[in-house]
Structure 1
Amino acid sequence: MLYHPHDLEISAPQEMIDIYRRLANDLEQVGRDGPEAIAPKVSISDWMIAKRAVPILLGTVVGHPRVEDGKPAATTEIVFWDEHWQLARTLTRWYRLGRPLVGGQSQ
């Protein structure tokens, strides 16, 4: 299934900064003080590990450090998207958005 960017719930930049800053702070605290420094308020039982899909970009890239120019690529998870600015940020890098592929055809 293909998604249009407007169908994806991608947070505003400051919201994502806050989320990742809290994550980094939590991991640093556990690394520094050990697991006893964390007192989770939520527990989970009868659990298992599963995978879920995340929004990514599929397209033809130019300037990627590991993919030859003009070749198709799939990105890591999209964490920021602004079509007006023609920018997308994945977990690993920024992308300048060129023309989108709509309905299987370039615009």
Structure 2
Amino acid sequence: MDMLRFGEFQANSSLRSIIRSATEWHELAKDLRDIVDRKSLPLLDPGTTPIVNEWFVEKFMVPILVGHISYPEKTENGHATYGRMNFTAPLHFFSYKGEMTRSSTRWYRLGTPSPLAERSIERWTMPDG
């Protein structure tokens, strides 16, 4: 995620990028509030929600999900392509049992975990406070 800048002599962010970031953060906040209000996880549509296989959580200043990401909307011959190894935007919500995670930009379904998966999420476990 890039830091937004405005009111500088140079290197300002475009208004379009500021609006895009504001929209992404608004959608993230709405999704998190929905979980609290409903006291349940959302139902993710497999036809529109990417799935990440061979995934693990990496510590890169912030938690990110690394794995083979397949986007259903990007298909070849009517079949979702098996994604190449890639990473998500920073994670803000994670449910191993619910098989889903929410980055700052979108939801992902958790597919097959890598052998590193369980160990990788342990370092992000925080006591409830």
Q: TM over 0.5: same fold?
A: no
Larger radius of gyration: 1
What band does the TM-score fall into relative to the shorter chain? 0.3 to 0.5
Higher relative contact order (CA 8 A, sep 6+): 2
TM-score (norm 2): 0.36
Larger fraction in strand = 2
